[in-house]
Structure 1
Amino acid sequence: MSVMVQENTGLFHLQSAGMSYMIQIVDGYPLHVYWGGRLRHRDSMDDLLIHTPAKAGLDRLPQEYPQYGSGDFRNPAYQAELEDGTRITELRYDGYRIIEGKPSLPGLPAVYTEDESEAETLELDLKDAYSGLKVVLSYTVYANRNVITRSARLSNGGDKSLRLRRALSASVDFSGKSDLEMVYLSGAWAREANMVRRPIHQGETRIDSKRGMSSHQFNPFAALVTSETTENHGEAYGFSLVYSGSFEAGAEVDSFGSTRFSMGLNSFDFAWLLSPGESFQTPEAVMVYSGQGLGGMSRTYHRLYRTRLCRGKYRDEERPILVNNWEATYFDFNADKLVSIAEEGARLGIELFVLDDGWFGTRDSDNSSLGDWYEDRRKLPGGLADVAQRVNEQGLKFGLWFEPEMISPDSELYRKHPDWCLHVPGRRRSEARWQLVLDYTRKEVRDYIYDSLSAIFTSVPVAYVKWDMNRALTEIGSAALPPERQAETAHRYVLGLYELLERITTAFPHILFESCSSGGGRFDPGMLHYMPQTWTSDNTDAVERLKIQYGTSLVYPVSAIGAHVSAVPNHQVGRMTPLEFRGDVAMSGNFGYELDLTKFTDEEKEIVRRQVSAYKEIRGLVQQGDLYRLKSPFRGNESAWMIVSEDKEEAIVYYFQVMAVPNPPLRSLRLDGLNPELEYEVQAGNGKEMSTHGGDRLMQLGLPLAYEQKDYQSGWFRLRAVTL
C-alpha cells in the first residue's frame, strides 16, 4: 500500500520504497506536512501534525494548492475570475479517493504504469461553495521509485461561467527552509542546457518561457538543493513539467523563512473560459526526491522517462546508427549525391540514411515551400520512393526530415489558405526564418498535415522521421476561436500538436520519430512521450557538446540524446577537433554522423568503421544503462561520465580533456556505481590495453589515466565483471 490515510487526523501519507510525502487537512485546507526520505507509518503521527489552526492566518501555513485573496499573500497555484468580475475563491476539502495504478490525463502526455501494482493515486476533492469551482488534486506515488506526479483538474460546478487566469500543476511549501539553492538549465540556440546553480533569497527566483514552446532559454525543470548537496550526496527535490509550451517555475521565499516552489502553465497571457459543466486539466509535474545528490535524482528521472514516459517499438530497442546529409549538402543535392553518401555509409556499417531539409516543394533555401509536402522532382526525378529504394538496396533504412508545424508565405499552401497560420487580424505577421506557424488549434489544419505525411509514409518505406520546429509563436491568435477564447490559443496549439502526434505515431508505430526544435528548443518530457529521442542541439562541435549533453543529462536519459559527428572546421564555431574526439563525444548518446562520408580519406573511413563497430557492441548499455557523472565540463578542462548496467556487471567510462596541460601530475579517475565486491576487467576502447581492478579500488582510488601532450584528448573504457 502506497497511500495511507488517518481519518481521525486528516493525514494522508504517500510512501514509496525510499520516500514519504504527507498532506494534512486542517480546517478544510490541505496543508503540506512533509516531503523527504521514507518515514515509517505509525498509528500515532502527532509529532508531524500541524496544530496551528487556519484562523491563525493562511500566510503562515504550508499549503498544497494555495489561493489568493483569503489571507495568503504568496503566489497562488490558481486564480479564477467570476462572471461578476471578482477574483476571490476559497477551495475547501470535500473528500478523497484512492485509485490503484495511475489514470491517464485526457489530451495530455504523462508518465504511466504497465501494471496497476506499480503505483497508487490519491485524488483530493476541493470545492468553492460560492462559485461552484471544483478542483481535483491528483497525486500518484510509485511504490519502487522516489517519484510523485501531480496535476489538477478544475471544473465549473456552478451555473455561471468563470475564467481561469492561473492554473498551475504543483505547489509545494517547504516550511522553515530558506537556505536552499535552485538548479536549472538555461542557454540559447546552439548553447543549450547550461547548468545554473544559485542560492535563493527572500523574494522570487523564477524561470519561464513565453515563446509557446519550452524553449532553448530555459528547460521546464528545476531542482531545489541544500548548500551541501553535491553530485553524490545530500538532498535534491526535482520538478519536471510534462509539457511542450509556455511554462513557469519558481521559488518564493517569504518573510517567515519558508520556500514555496510552484510549476505549471505560464500564467502570462493565459486565460481559459469554463462554462458550466466544463473542466480544465493541467499538465503533469513529475517530482523526484533524492537523498543521494543530483546524480540520484537524475537516475530516477532517467529510469522513469526511459521506461514509463517514452512508448512504442523503440522504447526498449537499440537505436540505429545514422548518417544525415544536412551538413554534407544543405539544400544543394540530387538523388545520386544522396545515394553516394548512403553507399559509403553502408560500407562503413551505418544502418540508416536520413534525408534532411530541401526535398519538397521548390525548397532551395529557407525562404519557401514549408507546407508543400510533396517531393521536388527537379532534385529527385524518381521521387522519394526511388531514393528510398536505392538506399534500401545498400542495406540502409531510409529516414526523412519534416517541419510540419510551419508554413512559408512563399508556398502553395499559404496562397490557398492564408488564414491557416497563427495571426491577429490587422496586425503584421512577423516571420522568423521566412516562415509562419500553422494554427494547430484548427482540426482542418491538423488533418491536412496528417493526410500529407500519411500519403508519404504509405508510399515510401520511411523508417525514421526528424520532426523539426524552428521558431517560437508570435501573433498568437486564431481565426477559428471567438474573442473570449483568444487567450486560450497558445495552450490549444499544444493540445492540437499532441492530438496530431498521438494520431500519427499510433498509425505508424514502425517509424522512429525524433523531435527537434532548432536543436534543443523543445527538449521536454511532453515530446518524449511521442518521440523517444530528441536532436539535442544544432551545435555539433564536440567541445560544446560536452556541456550540452552533460547538462541535458540532469533530467533526460542518454537514450533521448541525439549526438552526431560532424565535419571540421565545425560549422557552428569553426573549431578543429580530431575525429576520435568527436566520435567519443557522440558515442555518449544516440550515435550518428552529419557530414559527407564520400570526402573522407581512407584513414578517416577506417576510424569511422571502428567507431561504428564499437558502438554496435556497447549501444545497448549506453542507451539503457544508469548514468553517473564524474567530472563536470562546467568546472574545468576535464569531463567524464560513465554508464553502468542494472546488474553492475558492465560499465562504459568516457573521459575528455579539452586542452593540453604543461607538466601534468599523475592522474586517475574515480568511478561510481560499481559493485565494490566485484573484480572488473578494464579494456580501453581502442582494444590495446587491459587490466583488472576491484570495484572498491576503482571507486575509492580511481582508474589510472595515461596522458598525451596534445589538445582534445579523449578515451573510453569498457568494464566487465570477471571471476578470479
Structure 2
Amino acid sequence: MQYTPVFRRLGVVLLAATLFLSSCSRFPIDTGEKENASSSASDWIAYMLESQTDFLGCRIGGEDFSLRAVEREVTQSETEAADVYAITETDTETGLRFVTTLTAFRAHDALEIVSTITHTGQDKSPVLSELRAADIRLPIPGREGITLKTARGCLATGVDDDYDFGEIRQPMGVGGTYTYAPEGGRSCDGAWPYFDLVGSEGGAVVAVGWTGQWEAAFSPVPGGVRLQAGQQYFNSYLLPGESVTTPSVTVLFYRGFSEEGRNDFRQLVLDAYTPANVKDESFLFPVSFAFVTPFRKEEAIPRVKSFKEDGYDDLCAWLDAGWYGNNPLDWSSQVGNWYPNPETFGENGIRELSDTVHDMGYRFILWFEPERAQANSEAAKNRSLFYEHEGSGGLLLRLDTEEGYEWMWNLLSDAIENYGMDIYRQDFNLRPLEYWSEHDEPDRVGLSENRYINNLYRLMDALLEKHPHLVIDNCASGGRRLDIAMMKRCISLFRTDYSCLQTCDPQGVQYHTQSLLSWLPLHGSAIWGDQLNDFYTCVSTVSSGVVISSGNRLATDMTLALQPYYRGDYYSLLTPTYDNVSHQAWELYDPEKEEGFVVALARPKTEAGKLTLTLKGLDPDKTYSLTVYDSSVRLAKGSGKELMEEGFSVHLKPREAQLLMIRAVEGEGEAK
C-alpha cells in the first residue's frame, strides 16, 4: 500500500481534526474476538493516514509543522510480527525531512511511533522546538470520566524508596493538562514512563521509550485524550546532513477493564520489548549468588565450587562493584579504573573465576559503570572523553560523540570476551541532565542528550549483535532506567536499591512486587543473610529472578518453581499498600498452561483470622485445585466460576505467608 498525497495545507488539517473528534466514539472498534483485536489499532492508523493527520508535533522556526507545505509519501512493509508504515514528509522550504515509522503489532492492539529528522538542505536549518515524538488524540471508549494511572518510579534511596513504583491515580478533569517527567535525566528517577488511560469501557496503555529526560502531557478532549510526549528539552537547529531520532511512544488499546489491558501490555512487552535471547521460556531468569566487595579470588573460586557440591545445578555467579581499581573498600571512588584490583584478583583472577563458574555449569555476571568516571581515574586522563560538572559524583562519558562511543565499545566488547561474561551488568549512578545542558551550544539545546541516548541504544544493539549469547542487566541506582526502549535490550535483575539497605523490610518488597508486576513481567529482587531461612520473607521477595548471599534451598527452589508463571497474567487480589497492618494477596496465572500461584500474606500487625480471596482469569467451566506449595495438601477445589465469584479462605496469623499453587484438574484429584 502506498499513500502519495503531495502537499498538506491548513484546510486538510482542520478537516482531519473535525473528523477525528466526530469519530472518537467508534475507535477502537470492539471486534469481540481477541485474536482480531489488532484491527482497532490498524483501523486507527488507517484513519490517521487517510486524513493526513501527523503523529509527531514540532515547530520549525516558530511555525507549527502542521501548517507548513510538505511533500508526503507513505509506504507499507511487513515483518514477521508487525505491519510497518513509513511516513516521509519533506518540508519544501527548509529541506528538513521527517520520517515517522509506525509499527502495528498484529498479535496485540498496539503500535509504536518513532521519528527521525534529517536536514537535507544546504544551510543550517531553522530551530526545531516543541518537538514531540507523539502529538496525537487517543480515543478512549466510554461516556464517563477518564482516570490516568501511572507510578512513582524510583524514589530517594533510604528515604522514601519503600514506595518505589507505587501506583498514582489521577482523575482527569475537563480542561486540565497532566504532565509528568523524571528528575535529572534518568527515565524512572521520580517518575514512571508508563501510563494507563482508563475509561468506563476500555482504555489505552502508553509507554515512552526514552532513557533520558522525557515528558508526557495528557489533556482530556471530546471522546478521548490528547497525548504529547517526547524529549522534554529540545530547541536546536540542524546542520546539513545532521539527524536526530525522537523517543519512541508505544500505545496499546484495550476493551474492558484496566487489568485486562495491563495483562495484554505485559504480553506485548514479552513479545516485542524483551531481548530475543530472553523472551523464550527456555531462558532461566537468574538465581544469582553475589560476591559483594571486598572479595578475593581465593575466596570466590572455592565458594563457586561449594555451590556445585551442594547440588545447585543452575546458578549465576555475580561479581558486583569493587573488583577493579586500587581500593576494594570504596567501589565508587574507583570507577574509571577498569582493571582488576591487583590485591583481590590480580591480572588474571577475573578470568580464572569465570572459567571456574563455567566449569560448574553456571553463568557469570560482571558489573561495570562505564558512563561515569572519577576525575583521578585512568580513563579520565583523556579529558576529551568526559564532561565535568561542579559538585557532582564524577565525570560523565561523552557518549554523544563518536570518540566516546568507540571508547565504551572497545572497553565493553573486549571485557565481555576477555572475562567470559554471560551477563553484563551496567550501572549508572549519576544524574546526567545538568551535564548535557551545561555543554549544549546556544540554539542546540537537547542535542547532546539526543545523541547520547541514541548512541547508548546503538552500543547495546552492537554488543548484542557481536556477542549473541550476551544478556545485559540494566541497573541505574536501582531501577531508574526501566523505560520500554531499555527493556527491549536489557533485563532488570535488581529492580531497586531498596534491597541493599538494612532498613529494607518484606512489606516494602511486597509493595514493589505488586506495583511493578502490573506493568513489567520480568524483574529480580534480593534476599540476604538470615532472611533466606524465613518463609514469610522468601514468599514476599521471590520474583522471576532473585539474588542471594549464600546457599539456601528455600529461596532458590521457590524461585525456580514459580518462574514460569511470571510470563502469564498478573492480578492484584487486594489493593497494594505499604504498611504493617493489612493483608496482601496477588495471583499469577498462565491461561495456556492452566496453572499459576497465589500469594496471601498477613503483615506483622495484622490480627489473626480468616481471609477470603476471589481469583481472576480462570475458565469458569473448568475445575481447579489449590494446593499448598511444596506439598500435596489441598486447600480448596472448585470450578473457575466458584473460585472467581465465591472464592476460598485461608487462615493467617500475624506475619504469616501462604503460597498456593493453582492447577486445572480433571476429576477428583487427578491432574490434567
If the length of structure 2 is used for normalisation, what is the TM-score?
Answer: 0.83
1:449 to 408, 411, 417: 408
> Are 2:190 and 1:246 equivalent residues in the alignment?
no
> Are 2:152 and 1:186 equivalent residues in the alignment?
yes
Which amino acid letter does the alignment assign opposite residue 579 of structure 1? D
Equivalent residue number for residue 40 of structure 2 = none
**CA distance in structure 2 between the partners assigned to 1:290 and 1:680 by the alignment:** 28
Give SS of 1:641's match: strand
Farther-moved stretch of structure 1 (385-394 vs 121-130): 121-130
Which amino acid letter does the alignment assign opposite residue 421 of structure 1? F
**CA distance in structure 2 between the partners assigned to 1:88 and 1:461 by the alignment:** 50
Equivalent residue number for residue 430 of structure 1 = 391
Q: CA deviation at 1:404?
A: 1.4
Give SS of 2:262's match: helix
* Alpha-carbon distance change, 277 to 464 in structure 1, aligned in 2, over 3 angstroms: closer
Q: Is the 8 A contact 1:342 1:353 kept in 2?
A: yes
> Are 2:471 and 1:503 equivalent residues in the alignment?
no
Give SS of 1:368's match: helix
> Are 2:59 and 1:79 equivalent residues in the alignment?
yes
2:598 to 653, 656, 673: 653
Q: CA deviation at 1:323?
A: 3.0
Which amino acid letter does the alignment assign opposite residue 462 of structure 1? M
> Are 2:547 and 1:592 equivalent residues in the alignment?
yes
**CA distance in structure 1 between the partners assigned to 2:464 and 2:316 by the alignment:** 19
**CA distance in structure 2 between the partners assigned to 1:5 and 1:640 by the alignment:** 51
Counting only pairs closer than 5 Å after superposition, residues 220-239 of structure 1 correspond to structure 2 as 220-226=193-199, 234-239=201-206
Which amino acid letter does the alignment assign opposite residue 406 of structure 1? R
Which amino acid letter does the alignment assign opposite residue 586 of structure 2? W
Give SS of 2:277's match: coil
**CA distance in structure 1 between the partners assigned to 2:59 and 2:13 by the alignment:** 21
Give SS of 1:249's match: strand
Q: Is the 8 A contact 2:437 2:446 kept in 1?
A: no
Equivalent residue number for residue 410 of structure 1 = 376
1:293 to 257, 269, 282: 257
**CA distance in structure 1 between the partners assigned to 2:66 and 2:618 by the alignment:** 54
**CA distance in structure 1 between the partners assigned to 2:294 and 2:184 by the alignment:** 32
Equivalent residue number for residue 188 of structure 2 = 215
2:478 to 490, 499, 519: 519
Equivalent residue number for residue 535 of structure 1 = 494
> Are 2:301 and 1:342 equivalent residues in the alignment?
no
Counting only pairs closer than 5 Å after superposition, residues 81-160 of structure 1 correspond to structure 2 as 81=61, 90-91=67-68, 95-101=72-78, 113=79, 115=80, 118-124=81-87, 126=89, 130-156=93-119, 160=123
Give SS of 2:205's match: strand
Q: Is the 8 A contact 1:91 1:127 kept in 2?
A: no
Equivalent residue number for residue 465 of structure 1 = 424
* Alpha-carbon distance change, 614 to 544 in structure 1, aligned in 2, over 3 angstroms: closer
> Are 2:649 and 1:704 equivalent residues in the alignment?
yes
Q: CA deviation at 1:174?
A: 5.6
Any idea what the Cα deviations from partners look like across 1:553-594, whole Å, max 9, x if unmatched? 23212x2x11222236xxxxxxx897212222333322331x
* Alpha-carbon distance change, 144 to 93 in structure 1, aligned in 2, over 3 angstroms: farther
Which amino acid letter does the alignment assign opposite residue 197 of structure 1? R
**CA distance in structure 2 between the partners assigned to 1:692 and 1:258 by the alignment:** 43
**CA distance in structure 1 between the partners assigned to 2:437 and 2:230 by the alignment:** 23
**CA distance in structure 2 between the partners assigned to 1:157 and 1:460 by the alignment:** 44
Which amino acid letter does the alignment assign opposite residue 415 of structure 2? I
Which is richer in helix? 2
Q: CA deviation at 1:89?
A: 6.6
Equivalent residue number for residue 385 of structure 1 = 351
Any idea what the Cα deviations from partners look like across 1:353-380, whole Å, max 9, x if unmatched? 1010100111430442212221112011
Structure 2: gaps spanning 5 or more residues: 37-42, 45-50, 668-672
Equivalent residue number for residue 372 of structure 1 = 337
**CA distance in structure 2 between the partners assigned to 1:695 and 1:156 by the alignment:** 59
**CA distance in structure 1 between the partners assigned to 2:89 and 2:496 by the alignment:** 43
Give the length in aligned residue pairs.
Answer: 620
Which amino acid letter does the alignment assign opposite residue 423 of structure 2? Y
Counting only pairs closer than 5 Å after superposition, residues 248-287 of structure 1 correspond to structure 2 as 248-253=215-220, 259-266=225-232, 268=233, 270-276=234-240, 278-287=242-251
Q: CA deviation at 1:391?
A: 3.5
* Alpha-carbon distance change, 321 to 479 in structure 1, aligned in 2, over 3 angstroms: closer
* Alpha-carbon distance change, 463 to 359 in structure 1, aligned in 2, over 3 angstroms: same
Counting only pairs closer than 5 Å after superposition, residues 559-598 of structure 1 correspond to structure 2 as 559=522, 561-567=523-529, 579-593=534-548, 595=549, 597=550
**CA distance in structure 1 between the partners assigned to 2:139 and 2:439 by the alignment:** 46
* Alpha-carbon distance change, 282 to 475 in structure 1, aligned in 2, over 3 angstroms: closer
Equivalent residue number for residue 29 of structure 2 = 38
> Are 2:575 and 1:632 equivalent residues in the alignment?
yes
Any idea what the Cα deviations from partners look like across 1:242-261, whole Å, max 9, x if unmatched? 2211100111357x897422
* Alpha-carbon distance change, 129 to 642 in structure 1, aligned in 2, over 3 angstroms: same
Any idea what the Cα deviations from partners look like across 1:312-371, whole Å, max 9, x if unmatched? 322213325433435xx4x32222333354345432625111010100111430442212
Which amino acid letter does the alignment assign opposite residue 334 of structure 1? R
Q: CA deviation at 1:616?
A: 2.7
**CA distance in structure 2 between the partners assigned to 1:4 and 1:273 by the alignment:** 31
Any idea what the Cα deviations from partners look like across 1:197-237, whole Å, max 9, x if unmatched? 012233321111352220320121222223x5xxxxx4222
> Are 2:655 and 1:678 equivalent residues in the alignment?
no
* Alpha-carbon distance change, 685 to 514 in structure 1, aligned in 2, over 3 angstroms: same
Q: CA deviation at 1:36?
A: 3.9
* Alpha-carbon distance change, 77 to 695 in structure 1, aligned in 2, over 3 angstroms: same
**CA distance in structure 1 between the partners assigned to 2:450 and 2:144 by the alignment:** 33
Any idea what the Cα deviations from partners look like across 1:163-208, whole Å, max 9, x if unmatched? 2122212123368989322211114144221110012233321111
Give SS of 1:548's match: helix
**CA distance in structure 2 between the partners assigned to 1:693 and 1:363 by the alignment:** 60
Structure 1: gaps spanning 5 or more residues: 11-23, 42-47, 50-61, 67-75, 102-112, 229-233, 569-575, 598-604
**CA distance in structure 2 between the partners assigned to 1:477 and 1:6 by the alignment:** 39
If the length of structure 1 is used for normalisation, what is the TM-score?
Answer: 0.77
User: RMSD in angstroms over aligned alpha carbons?
Assistant: 3.5
**CA distance in structure 2 between the partners assigned to 1:250 and 1:527 by the alignment:** 21
**CA distance in structure 2 between the partners assigned to 1:720 and 1:324 by the alignment:** 31
**CA distance in structure 2 between the partners assigned to 1:694 and 1:5 by the alignment:** 52
* Alpha-carbon distance change, 397 to 293 in structure 1, aligned in 2, over 3 angstroms: same
Q: CA deviation at 1:395?
A: 4.3
* Alpha-carbon distance change, 128 to 504 in structure 1, aligned in 2, over 3 angstroms: closer
Equivalent residue number for residue 48 of structure 2 = none
**CA distance in structure 2 between the partners assigned to 1:154 and 1:448 by the alignment:** 27
* Alpha-carbon distance change, 459 to 451 in structure 1, aligned in 2, over 3 angstroms: same
* Alpha-carbon distance change, 336 to 706 in structure 1, aligned in 2, over 3 angstroms: farther
**CA distance in structure 2 between the partners assigned to 1:119 and 1:454 by the alignment:** 31
Give SS of 2:167's match: strand
Give SS of 1:323's match: strand
Q: Is the 8 A contact 1:89 1:128 kept in 2?
A: no
Q: Is the 8 A contact 1:441 1:492 kept in 2?
A: yes
**CA distance in structure 1 between the partners assigned to 2:456 and 2:517 by the alignment:** 26
Q: Is the 8 A contact 2:289 2:315 kept in 1?
A: no
Give SS of 2:67's match: coil
Any idea what the Cα deviations from partners look like across 1:254-287, whole Å, max 9, x if unmatched? 7x89742211111x3x233223565433222110
